[in-house]
Structure 1
Amino acid sequence: MADVRTVSATELMERHRGLLRGDGTELALVDAREPTEFTQRHLLYAANLPLSHVGLEVAARIPRRSAPVVVCDAGGGEAAAVALELTVLGYTDTTVLDGGIDAWAAAGGELYSGINVPSKLFGELVEAHFGTPHVSSTELAGWLAEGRDLAVVDSRTRREFNRMSIPTGRSCPGGELVRRVGDLIGEGTTVVVNCAGRTRSIMGAQSLRSAGLERVVALKDGTMGWELAGLQLEHGRDEQVPEPDAEGREQALVAAAAVAERCGVRTIDRAQLDGWLADVTRTTYFMDVRTPEEFAAGHLPEATGAPGGQLVQATDEYLVTRGARVVLADHDGIGATMSASWLIQMGWDAWVLEPGWLASAGGQDLVAGGNDAAEAALRSRQPPLPYDPEDAEVARAAMQGYLDWEIALPDQYARDDLVEFRFC
C-alpha cells in the first residue's frame, strides 16, 4: 500500500474550486466503500465504485485513463485497494484522499447522505428557482373524481411504472416528455407529471414549462405522497404515451430550439465527435439518450445508453469525471437538447450530436444490443427506495423520511461553497 499517492483534503477542495472557476481541469472522485456505507455519508460529487465493480464499470464511467482520479473511504483501506486496481488497469493519475472523508469534514467540507445527490439537490433548486407549481395527491385525487381534463404522465422508467402507477397515468420517461406530450393535450388540459418521489416530477414538469407549456404541474412527492395520503396505486400497467404525429413533432422541435437558444446548447457533427473521442488530453462522454429499446435496436459503437431523464437524474452514476465534455445523441435532437440544457445548468460542458447521424450511418456503423450488465451492476449498488416492506407503518415512516431528506438538501447546499449551479 506504500506505493499509493495521497492528496490532502485542503488540496482536493482547491481542485474543486478550480472546476467551479472553469480552469480546464478534470477530476474523477471515487468512493471505494460498499453501497450501504456510501449512502450514510459521502462527498457530494463522489461516485460509488467498490472494488468488486471496478473491472465491469470503470471503462465506461471513467473512459480516459490519464484523467486525474481521487479515491476515498472512511479509513477502512478500501481506497488504497481500488487505487491499486485502477493502476493495474492503466489509470496513470490515481491518488487517495489522505484521512478519508473524516479529513474532508474536519477541513470544513460537507458530507451528504443518500444516492444521486447532485441531481436530487439540483431538482430541489430548480423548483425553488423557477417556482415549478405542484399539486398534492389529495388535490389530484379530487381532480380525477371530478373528471377534470387531465393528462397524468409518469416520468420514470417503464419498469418502475409497471410496478406501481397513479390511476389514469401513462408512462413517458423524462427525456421523452417534450417530444410526446403535446399530442395529449387540448386547450384546457392540465398535465400532471409524477415520479416515485420528487426529483423527476419537478424536472419533468419544468422541462415542459421551459418548452412553452403552461398548464403543467408536478405531483408533490410522487407515488410516495400518494401512498402517504392513503390512496391506492395501480400495479402491472404498461400504457405509454405514443410517439407524436408530424404536427406534434414539429411543435416539439420548435420548442427544443427555443430552449437551446436560451441555454446555449450547441451541436457538433460526426467528424468533430470522432476527433473529441480520439483526444487523449480531455474526456468526452458520448451518451445515446434514446429509450433503451431504441438503443438496443442500433447505436453507434462508441455510445453509452443513458435515457435522457435517467441521465439527468443520476449524473454521478453516468458522468464521473467532472470537467469533461458530454455529447448527447438521439434521432431528432429534441430529447438530447432538453437533457443538454439541464446538464449545462448543472455545470457540464454539454453538446448535441447533429440530428441525422442515425440515417447517415445507414445501419452499417451501428451495433445492436443494450448495456444490461452495466445497468444491472449499477442497480445492485443502490439501496431500494422505501416502498413496501412487510410492515406498512415502517414503510410509511421510511417514505416520509426519504422525502424529508430530499427537501432538506438545499440547506446543505447553502453551507457548501464547492457547489454552484447556473440557471437559464
Structure 2
Amino acid sequence: MTATIHPRDVRAALLARAEVALIDTRDEAAFATGHPLFAAQVPLDRIEVEAASRWPRRDGALILYGDGDEEAAAERFRTLGYGDVRLLEGGLAGWRAAGYEVFEDVNSYAKAFGELVEHRRGTPSFSAEEVQELIAGRADIAILDARRFDEYATMSLPGGVSVPGAELVLRARAIAPDPATTIIVNCAGRTRSIIGTQSLINAGVPNPVRALRNGTIGWTLAGQTLAHGSEARFPEVDRDLADEARRRARHVAYRAGVRQIDRHELSAVAADATRTLYRFDVRTPEEFALSHLAGFRSAPGGQLVQETDHFAPVRGARIVLADDRGVRADMTASWLAQMGWEVLVLTDLTGASEAGDGGATPPRGPHGRYRRPYEGTDNPAAAMQAYLDWEYGLVDQLARDGTHGFYVI
C-alpha cells in the first residue's frame, strides 16, 4: 500500500513555499468539477507520456488523488523511477472535509490571478457594445488578439490582429505607432485580455489601452458577429522599437523582483538536485522550431501564464525563461513572479542551435477533455454566462483559500 499524507500537511507545505506536486488522476472533465487550487491533472493513460517533462525530478514527492485509480497511478509513477509517491489521505473528499477550498474549471489559479490583477489595478476595459460602436464609427483603434493563433483563426473580432500575449509589449508599437491610437486587447474570456492589457500599461506604452470586457464570450452574448478564418498576424519590429520594448520590459521585470542569469549561473542552478527546475523558451513555436537551447521546452509566454499548472505542475519549483529578444521573457517572468514563482531570465542564448520540437510531449486527444465554455462557436449562452459568473467570484475564493501567495505590482 502507498503511504498517505494528510491534507493539512499539504496545505502547510504550500504555505511554507515548499515544493508541492499535487496530482489529480481523473480525466480533465472530472477535474474541472472541482480540485485544490494548485492541483495538476494527468489521467492514468498519460502518465508515461507526460511524467518526464512535467515532473522532472524523480526523487521529489508526488501526492496523488483520483477516483479509485490512485494506487494504479502510484504504481505507474514508481515504475518510471519516482521514489516518493504518496496518496492524499481521504482523497478529494478528505480535502473538502478538512474545510479547504475546491476550485472548478481548468487553469483555475491563473484565471484567479488575472481576476486579482483587475481587482487590484482596476484594469480598464470596454464592453462589447462600446467596441462595436468604435468599429462602426471607424475610430482610431487597434484590436490585438492575445490568444494562440489557432484560437484567433477560429473566431475573432472584426479587424483584429493576432498578437499572442507575450508578444504584446514587443509588437504593439509597430501596430499602433501613433500614441493617440487606442489599443484594445481581447481573448476568449477574461484572463488573457486582463493580463495583456495590464502588460502594456505596466510597460508604459504611451497609447490608451483597454481590455475587451469578457472577450469573445461577451461579444457573442451581446449578439454581435465574430469573424472566422482571419489570418492577420503581428508584424516584425525594427531595432529601435525592439530596444525600446526591451527597456520597458526589463523595468517591469525588475519591479517584480525577477533576476537575470547567464549560462554559467544557469549551470549552477541546474546542479541543485534538491529543487525542481523548469526551462522554457517563451518565443513563438515557429522560432523555437528553427533553433533553441538544449534542455528548453517551448512554452509561448502568454500560454505559460495562462496554463502554468500544465507546464509547471510542481508548485514551488524554479523556472528559467529564454528569449533572444528579452522582452517576452521579462514580461512573462514578471507575471510568474507575481504568481509566487521563483523565476529567472537567461540573458545569454549563444549556442542555441537545436532545431525541431525539442522532444515536445505528444498532444492529448479529445477523449476525457473538458470542453471550455469559451471554445468554438456553438456554446449555449447560459454556459458562457455561468463561466463569466464563476470568474467574477474567484477573488473572494482566493481569499477564502489563503494559500496562493500572489501579489500585484
TM-score, scaled to structure 1: 0.92
Higher helix fraction: Structure 1 or Structure 2? 1
Q: CA deviation at 1:151?
A: 0.6
Structure 1 distance, partners of 2:148, 2:297, is: 17
Structure 2 distance, partners of 1:83, 1:196, is: 36
Amino acid of the structure 2 residue aligned with 1:415: R
* Counterpart in the other structure of 2:77: 86
Partner of 1:402, secondary structure, is helix
* Counterpart in the other structure of 1:368: 356
The reply on whether 1:297 has 2:290 as its aligned counterpart is yes
Structure 2 counterpart of 1:222, from 204, 215, 222: 215
Q: CA deviation at 1:30?
A: 0.4
Query: Are 2:288 and 2:355, in contact at CA under 8 Å, matched by a contact in 1?
Result: no
Structure 2 counterpart of 1:212, from 204, 215, 225: 204
The reply on whether 1:7 has 2:25 as its aligned counterpart is no
* Counterpart in the other structure of 1:351: 344
Structure 1 distance, partners of 2:225, 2:15, is: 47
* Counterpart in the other structure of 1:199: 191
The unaligned stretches of length 5 or more in structure 2 are none
Aligned length: 407
Structure 2 distance, partners of 1:202, 1:369, is: 30
Amino acid of the structure 1 residue aligned with 2:264: A
Q: CA deviation at 1:301?
A: 2.3
* Counterpart in the other structure of 1:128: 119
Q: How does 1:18-29 map to 2 (within 5 A)?
A: 18-19=16-17, 25-29=18-22
Structure 2 distance, partners of 1:372, 1:223, is: 30
Q: CA deviation at 1:419?
A: 2.1
Q: How does 1:174-193 map to 2 (within 5 A)?
A: 174-185=165-176, 186-193=178-185
Structure 2 counterpart of 1:16, from 8, 14, 17: 14
Structure 2 counterpart of 1:271, from 264, 272, 281: 264
| Cα distance per residue 1:278-304 (max 9 Å; x no partner) | 432111110000001111112122011
Structure 2 counterpart of 1:327, from 311, 320, 325: 320
* Counterpart in the other structure of 1:22: none
**Structure 1 169/362 Cα, relative in aligned 2: closer, same or farther at 3 Å?**
closer
* Counterpart in the other structure of 2:45: 52
* Counterpart in the other structure of 1:413: 398
**Structure 1 388/112 Cα, relative in aligned 2: closer, same or farther at 3 Å?**
closer
TM-score, scaled to structure 2: 0.96
Amino acid of the structure 2 residue aligned with 1:140: V
Query: Are 1:30 and 1:47, in contact at CA under 8 Å, matched by a contact in 2?
Result: yes
Structure 2 distance, partners of 1:95, 1:123, is: 32
Query: Are 1:292 and 1:370, in contact at CA under 8 Å, matched by a contact in 2?
Result: no
The percentage of counterpart residues that share the same residue type is 43
With 118-127 and 248-257 compared, the bigger mean Cα shift is at: 248-257
Partner of 2:21, secondary structure, is strand
Partner of 2:144, secondary structure, is strand
- Aligned Cα RMSD in Å? 1.7
| Cα distance per residue 1:55-78 (max 9 Å; x no partner) | 1111111111111111112xx322
The reply on whether 1:401 has 2:386 as its aligned counterpart is yes
Q: CA deviation at 1:412?
A: 1.0
Amino acid of the structure 2 residue aligned with 1:332: R
Structure 1 distance, partners of 2:352, 2:10, is: 46
* Counterpart in the other structure of 1:41: 34
Q: CA deviation at 1:316?
A: 0.5
Structure 2 distance, partners of 1:170, 1:66, is: 45
Query: Are 1:119 and 1:315, in contact at CA under 8 Å, matched by a contact in 2?
Result: yes
**Structure 1 116/289 Cα, relative in aligned 2: closer, same or farther at 3 Å?**
same
**Structure 1 310/381 Cα, relative in aligned 2: closer, same or farther at 3 Å?**
farther
Structure 2 distance, partners of 1:381, 1:299, is: 33
* Counterpart in the other structure of 1:65: 58
